[in-house]
Amino acid sequence: MGITLLSFIIVLGVLIFFHEFGHFLIARIFGVGVEKFSLGFGPRLIGKKIGRTDYRISVIPLGGYVKMVGEEPDAEVSPQDLSISFTHKHVLKRMCIVAAGPVFNILLAVIIFFGIFWVSGAMILKPSVGEVREGSPALAAGLKAGDLITAIDGVAVSNWENMTEMIGASNGKTLEIAVRRADADKVFRITPELVPAKNVFGEDIQRYIIGISASGDVYTRELNLLQALKESLKQTYTIVELMVIIIGKLITGDISADTIGGPIMIAKMAGDQAKAGVSNLIFFIALISVNLAIINLVPIPILDGGHLLFFLIELIKGRPVNLKIREVAQQIGLFIILLLVILVFYNDIFRYKDNILRFLKGIF
């Protein structure tokens, strides 16, 4: 439990700091005064005031905030502070300040992935056959465990993912699959079969396969700086794309809301990753950082995405959204967030009720 709690604090601390630092840095670059930079909500635990800004750690560690001068549209700003007031800055500058939080979370993921790829290289799963399923096209053609697939229809195969994509795109056309067996090269003609399967979202799909599984053999490909940067951007983009799809499917109901997790789930996963090694925990931070960025960009009032939506409307119309409309939207947004908080805590408690009971028994 100690490792889980410590890992949870580290993960949240890093994510919140980068997010709020993004808001803070761009605000200062654009000359906006910052009154508070807080990690956590609620009463102040410790901190230090430097100039106008009170840098603090607060009691509730489930978030953070940057309070800027003139942040609220109806806030009273003294004449001498008009030049550093958030509300009195051009709408494009305000949009940049708000967007900076999620952007810095994505930047954090890129930095982490870059470090991993540069130091450790890229782990590549070999297109090596582990098992050949009974009754499969691969077995009928003569493929065996240990065969290394080197090409399909004359196109070189570099990894397992590349190979499965080529087979999946065959549309049932007979393929010439070249393999290396011991020291000999062989070519097999195999016609993929269409079978029911599930995608990463648990949805029923149809896909073409030849009936083999990976051996699990991997090799490490060393990367230079540019290659590591390219791979880190690619990895981050893949996670962003996946998150956008997941959120869309949650909204349409294609994915059950039961799959959503909250702080308890994050804490459990952080603890598991920490036990598996520091590198696993760092990778987990990058993954959650992207998730946090995308969730914050959802156009719900009180989230960064909601603020950006209001500013976009202001940019198009040439004047701010009516204050009353914004207040009502904020209340609706708060209600939606509260419902989501209740849902994720319910899911977490139901999912980890045994762990929670053991923890409570240990206390009392």
DSSP 8-state symbol, 152: E
Task: Please tell me the distance from the alpha carbon of residue 128 to that of residue 218, in angstroms, as a whole number.
Answer: 9
Taking each helix axis from N to C end, the angle separating 263-276 and 323-351, rounded to the nearest 10 degrees, works out to: 50
Q: How far apart are CA 361 and CA 353, in angstroms?
A: 12
User: Phi, psi at residue 169, to the nearest 5°?
Assistant: -90, 5
The token duo for 177 is: 């699959």
Distance CA 142, CA 276 (A): 39
Report phi then psi at 332, rounded to 5.
-65, -45
DSSP element (H, E) containing 48? strand 34-50
Give the CA angle between residues 118, 120, 124 to the nearest 5°.
105
For tokens 């393999």, the residue is 179
How crowded is the C-beta side of 191, counted as CA atoms within 13 Å? Answer: 3
What number of other Cβ atoms are within 10 A of residue 239's Cβ?
A: 19
The rounded distance, in Å, linking the Cα atoms of 26 and 36 is 15
Q: How far apart are the first and last CA of the chain?
A: 15
Question: Per-residue DSSP letters for 69-111?
Answer: TT-STT----GGGGGG-STTS-HHHHHHHHHHHHHHHHHHHHH
Q: Are 307 and 326 in contact (CB under 8 A)?
A: no
Rounded distance between C-alpha atoms, residue 112 and residue 114, angstroms: 5
Other CB atoms within a 10 A radius of the CB of residue 330 amount to 16
Residues designated as active site: 20
